[in-house]
Amino acid sequence: MMPNTRIIVADGSFAITTAKRADTICFEDVSRVVVYKLDALTTDLICCDIITGSAGAEQVRTVHEEIYGFEALMLRLEKLPGFDRKWREKVILPPFAENRTIAFQRSSAAA
């Protein structure tokens, strides 16, 4: 991602913005959230894949903890029904392991 990438959280949506564009996503369109770590040699980078759309037409937006607004976005995502609020514990330990975790999966009945 570009160094000037920012995440702006609003009531019903969030936007991933760069100098050239803004990608706005409604929270109700989020079908799955996957969190994991990338080994950055001496540290780990917590990443989050936000998936929208249905099978065959999914879109994945990847954000990470070094992007301005990441914490605000994660706090808002945690309000989605059924979101695993213990995702941090599952992802952080053990260190330097990916620890890929599905923190949210929208049920087809709720879609």
Query: Would you state the pLDDT for residue 41?
Result: 75
Query: Would you state the pLDDT for residue 44?
Result: 87
Residue appearing with tokens 């759309």: 53
Query: Would you state the pLDDT for residue 111?
Result: 42
Q: Map residue 10 onto helix, strand or coil.
A: coil
In degrees, rounded to 5, the angle at the alpha carbon of residue 14 between the alpha carbons of residues 10 and 15 is 120
Query: Would you state the pLDDT for residue 14?
Result: 98
| DSSP states along 42-65 | SSEEEEEEEEES-TTS-EEEEEET
- Answer yes or no: pTM beyond 0.75: yes
Q: Map residue 32 onto helix, strand or coil.
A: strand
Task: Give the pLDDT of the chain (111 residues) as one tens digit per residue.
Answer: 556 899 999 999 999 999 999 999 999 999 999 999 998 777 889 999 999 998 789 999 999 999 999 999 999 999 999 999 999 999 988 877 899 999 999 986 444
